[in-house]
Structure formats: C-alpha cells, structure tokens
Amino acid sequence: MAAYEAKQAGLDYVVIEKGLIGNTIYNYPVGLTVFSTTNELEFNEGDLKPAREKPTREELLSYYVRFVLDNDLNIRTEETVLSVSEPGAIATGFCVTTDKSSYEASRILFAIGAMDFPRKLNVPGEDLPKVHDHFRETYPWVKKKALIVGGGNSAGEAALFLAQEGADTTLAIFRNDWESTDPKQGCIKYWVKEPLEQELAEHCLRLFFLGKVIEIRENEVELENENGDRVVIENDVVFVLIGSDADLTMMKSLGVETEQGKYGEVPVYDPETFETNVPGVFVAGHFTNQRHIKGAIDAGRSVIAYIRTGNNSE
Ligand SMILES: Cc1cc2nc3c(=O)[nH]c(=O)nc-3n(C[C@H](O)[C@H](O)[C@H](O)COP(=O)(O)OP(=O)(O)OC[C@H]3O[C@@H](n4cnc5c(N)ncnc54)[C@H](O)[C@@H]3O)c2cc1C
C-alpha cells in the first residue's frame, strides 16, 4: 500500500523485498482459506473477488501480485537489506545497503513483518531433518505419523490439514490454549477449532495436553503431559508452530527505541504517523501493535499521507 500511495504522491520510492511479492502469503499453507474478509485484505473496495466468501491463499496472492504489476510498482524482489546507516551519516539521510546494491533515502519505512525468526523449543533433536518450523502442505505426510506442537491458529490449521488428508496426527497443545475462548491473538479460532473437534470425534486426530517436549528422536518423540507423566510416541515428522519474531536489530542500531507491546517487543512509534523516535524512520505491519493485514495496509497509507504533507523531517 505504501508503494502505491508513494507512487500516487509522485515520491521517488523503492521497495526492497528479500523474497517474492507477497512473500508471507506465498508461505501460507497451500490451499488455505484465510480468516479475514475481503474488506480487510483489499487495497481498493470491491477489488478482491474470491470464489467463496473468503479468499484462499492462491486468490489473495494472485490479487497482491496483480496489484503490483497493474500499478507498475517499483519493487525489487530477492534483494535483502543488510544495513541502514545511522541518521546523518550522509547528507541525504540514510544509506541502505543490500546484498545487491545501495540506495540513499531521506526516509525509511520498515515493514519487515515478524515471520523471520520462528521460535524454538530448545530441546534435543530439534535439529533433525524431520523437524519443521513451517507447515506448507499435507501430501508428503499422508500415512505418516505427524506431531504438531503449538497452540495458535497456525498449529490448529496444520493439524486440520494433516488429519483431514490422511496423516496420523497428534496435536500437542497446552490445555489453556485448547480451552481458551479468549479472542486474544494467537489462540485457535472457532472456525478452526470446530472442524478439529470433528476430527477428534472421528478419531482422525489425537490431542495431547502438553507439559513439555522432552526429546525428539529419529523415529519417536518423548513428551511430558500436563501431569508430569512421560510418554514416548512413534513419529515420522514434527511441526513446531509456536510463533515467530521479528529481528529488530537493524532498527535498534539506528537508535529506534522499543518497548513491551501486547505481543512482545515492539518499536516505539507515533500511532498516527507511524514515525519512530528517529526522525524519518517509520514502521508498519506485523512487528508493531497492528498484527493483521488491514493494520499493515492502513499504516502504509498513513505514513505516505504524513510524508506527503511535507509536515515532517526532510
Ligand atoms: C498462515 C497464516 C495465515 C494468516 N491469515 C491472515 C488473515 O486471514 N488475515 C490477516 O489479516 N492476517 C493473516 N495473517 C497474518 C498476516 O500474514 C500478517 O499480519 C501480514 O502479512 C503482515 O504484513 P506485513 O507487511 O507487516 O509483513 P509481511 O507480510 O510478513 O511482509 C514483510 C516482508 O518483509 C520482507 N523482509 C524482512 N526482512 C527483510 C530484509 N532485511 N530485506 C528485505 N526484505 C525483508 C519479508 O520477506 C516479507 O516479505 C496470517 C499469517 C499466517 C502465517
């Protein structure tokens, strides 16, 4: 959104993306139906036209890719930002160094998401090749014994895909996460939980109320249940889906202050302009307090509107 608005405003802008256009959505499970409605996902009202009420990963990704192409937005993909010089290091503002080039900019918008550092269990065996921190698709795991560790929507959806498509599936989850009806970010949403309960009833899925994971081994996993009893279960593949974090190092090295937000460490920023304490450095999206697509879109709009007025640091 920020790129589109910047172009409309006649600003000289570039987007550096280390992956592909819509990389986070590209990494959603294949065939996933997203939970947001079109009005929370589209850039212009009525633009996103899914076949059903909510779009699939493929429909959403295609919409974002088309938006970039149709508007000829200046996005450089498969290029990683490595560093940003401190403010004032060069006369024009900031020098951005990537693995392919370098750029000068008077303002920087960090919209780096929070998917890059999946959280770890830190248990023996977590580095085995059968352990994944990302669920992509079911078919390699049909008839395999799959264990999912996690209590949020990503873990719930992975368990559902696997159980429905023929993997022998166990979801290891803290009882609080399973029983919570608190609509907090991260818990399993009812539209995922209801089909999971159906799979449980049909014996395609097992729940394990977790104390902790003890060890992952080649053909089995040792778990401790909520009462402290240890069990060993046969296993072919493990998905550790316990959330991920952003890397704020680059921002901090620029002098951006952080604080404890609702979901973890977040940069300090003005909630209207999205400018941080470092003049000319803005933030948007999932690593701020706005953890959904709509929030990311709205922030992009606000940042450019603010820059456009010229009522801010040059
Ligand atoms: C399975 C799943 C389903 C979801 N469903 C929904 C949903 O239905 N509705 C909803 O609102 N949200 C949903 N979300 C959350 C949503 O994807 C995020 O809130 C959204 O993508 C945040 O947008 P963003 O622009 O902040 O970050 P991202 O979309 O993560 O984009 C950040 C980009 O920055 C790039 N990047 C990071 N570091 C660098 C670097 N150093 N150099 C260059 N590029 C870099 C990354 O490659 C990435 O493409 C879902 C998330 C998951 C995992």
* Structural domains of the chain sorted by starting position, each given as residue range(s) with its CATH number in brackets: 2-114+245-309 (3.50.50.60), 117-243 (3.50.50.60)
Residue nearest atom 49 of ligand 1, based on CA coordinates: 23
The rounded distance, in Å, linking the Cα atoms of 193 and 153 is 9
CA 239 to each of CA 153, 155, 168, 197, 242: distance values in angstroms, whole numbers, following the listed order: 13, 8, 13, 20, 9
CA distance 92 to 17: 22
Distance 5 CA to ligand 1 centre (A): 19
How many Cα atoms are found within 13 Å in the side-chain-facing hemisphere of 116? 14
| pLDDT confidence of residue 186 | 63
Cβ–ligand 1 contact at 134 (below 6 Å): no
How much is the pLDDT for 92? Answer: 78
- Phi, psi at 74, each rounded to 5°: -85, 85
Integer Cα distance of 262 and 102 in angstroms: 35
Does the CB atom of residue 19 touch ligand 1 within 6 A? yes
Res 43: pLDDT: 95
CB distance 132 to 221 below 8 Å: no
Is 293 a pocket residue for ligand 1 (Cβ < 6 Å)?
yes
CA distance 99 to 23: 18
Residue 55 tokens, joined: 């779009």
Q: How far is the CA of 217 from the centre of ligand 1 (A)?
A: 32
How many C-alpha atoms does 165 have within 13 Å on its Cβ side?
Answer: 15
Residue 161 burial (CB < 10 Å; 0-12/13-18/19+)?
Answer: buried
- pLDDT at residue number 187: 76
- 95 burial class (0-12, 13-18, 19+ CB within 10 angstroms)? middle
Give the residue whose CA is nearest to atom 52 of ligand 1.
28
Can you say whether residue 197 is alpha, beta or left, with left for phi > 0 and alpha for psi between -120 and 50 degrees?
Answer: alpha
- Tell me which amino acid residue 159 is: A
Closest ligand 1 atom to residue 287 Cα is 26
Q: What number of CA atoms fall less than 13 Å from residue 106's CA on the CB side?
A: 8
Q: What is the DSSP letter of 269?
A: B
pLDDT tens for the chain, residues 1 to 314 = 999 999 999 999 999 999 999 999 999 999 999 999 999 999 999 999 999 999 999 999 999 999 999 999 999 999 999 999 987 778 778 999 999 999 999 999 999 999 989 999 999 999 999 999 999 999 999 999 999 999 999 999 999 999 999 999 999 999 999 998 765 556 788 888 999 999 888 888 999 999 999 999 999 999 999 999 999 999 999 999 999 999 999 999 999 999 998 778 999 999 999 999 999 999 999 999 988 999 999 999 999 999 998 755 54
Q: Which residue owns the Cα nearest ligand 1 atom 20?
A: 293
